[in-house]
Chain A
Amino acid sequence: MAGMKMSAMRTAEAVAAIPMHHGLVLAAVLFALGLIGILVRRNLIFILMSIEIMLNAAGLAFVVAGARWEQADGQVMLIFILAVAAVEVSVGLALLLLLHRRFQTLDADAVSKMRG
């Protein structure tokens, strides 16, 4: 209830909606969290999830920019990012299954040694 009143007041005094940099900050925070996830975790499932988070944050940045100039280009780029994410995750999960089958583990360090 308080939020509704606050929002109504804010819309009354400022027609310009959410500032662009707030959306970009959100995208940056999500991207940084994904990057931290990749750097910290050793489980391949979590690494793949962190990659998804980062791709999603990049798409969010595109949509925020597209909404700022009221153009469709941001959403078009989000669609391309979705295609890239789908391909990446399918190939990544197939590799993960192969790794699990061969080494019985999901530790990324298990495949740090090459045979050659």
Chain B
Amino acid sequence: MEFTFYLSGAIAVAATLMVITGLNAVHALLYLIVSLLAVAIVFYVLGAPFAAALEVIIYAGAIMVLFVFVMMMLNLGKAAAAREQDWLTPGIWAGPAVLASLLLAELGYIFAQGGTAAGAVAVTAKEVGIALFGPYLLGVELASLLLLAGLVGACHLGRHEDVHHGWDEDERHENG
């Protein structure tokens, strides 16, 4: 069972290497998602199934979707169709697909074997919840405060464009 740890770690390092050397942001994002999924498998093998689930749902799911949305907004009106055509060539998604299918095979192997690595004791979601809402209750409150501050900050920064809506029209006049 241990080799799943090392294989996932190698996949995570390789995918991260592709992220920081990537030229295209969307391709780098694909590799970043693969890297996060690999780290999730590392968590699972180490005996932290709840952390693995959170990593997949929040990191690879929610946070990466934010990135995707922003890239969608940035690419508007810039010969998007031609670029889309380039992105559909097999060479581009083959790398992330191979790494992700390796991870999937690993996941199947882990579930076929059942449980975590030998010697590792799984810390369940129940224990994490008891610790989180027991001794760490103040931390939870602080995190909620931080999330609220982030919400207000992002809202303010996003609303800025509406306040200066005249700018866009000016630029459009200049360009047109």
Closest to B127 in A: A72
Min CB distance B18 to A, Å, is: 10
Q: Is the CB of A15 within 8 A of B70?
A: no
Distance between Cα atoms of A37 and B150 in the complex (Å): 25
Q: Which of B132-176 contact A (CB under 8 A)?
A: 132, 136, 139, 143, 146-147, 149-151, 153-154, 157-158, 160-161, 167-168
Contacts of B132 in A (CB 8 A): 72, 76, 79
- Find the residue from A16, A46, A100 having the highest chain B CB count within 10 A: A46
Q: Is the CB of A63 within 8 A of B46?
A: yes
Contacts of B73 in A (CB 8 A): 97
- Find the residue from B6, B42, B45, B160 having the highest chain A CB count within 10 A: B42
Distance between Cα atoms of A74 and B42 in the complex (Å): 14
Contacts of B119 in A (CB 8 A): 15-17
Interface footprint category on B: 35 or more
Q: Is the CB of B54 within 8 A of A78?
A: yes
Number of A-B contacts (CB under 8 A): 195
Among B5, B63, B127, point to the contact of A86 (Cβ < 8 A).
Answer: B63
Q: Is the CB of B48 within 8 A of A66?
A: yes
Contact with B along A81-98 (1 / 0, CB 8 A): 011111111110111111
Contact with A along B1-25 (1 / 0, CB 8 A): 1110111010011001101101001
Can you list 17 A-B contacts with CB-CB less than 8 angstroms, sorted by A residue number?
A22-B5, A26-B13, A30-B16, A46-B20, A49-B32, A56-B35, A60-B42, A63-B43, A63-B51, A67-B46, A71-B131, A73-B136, A75-B48, A79-B132, A87-B146, A90-B150, A93-B154
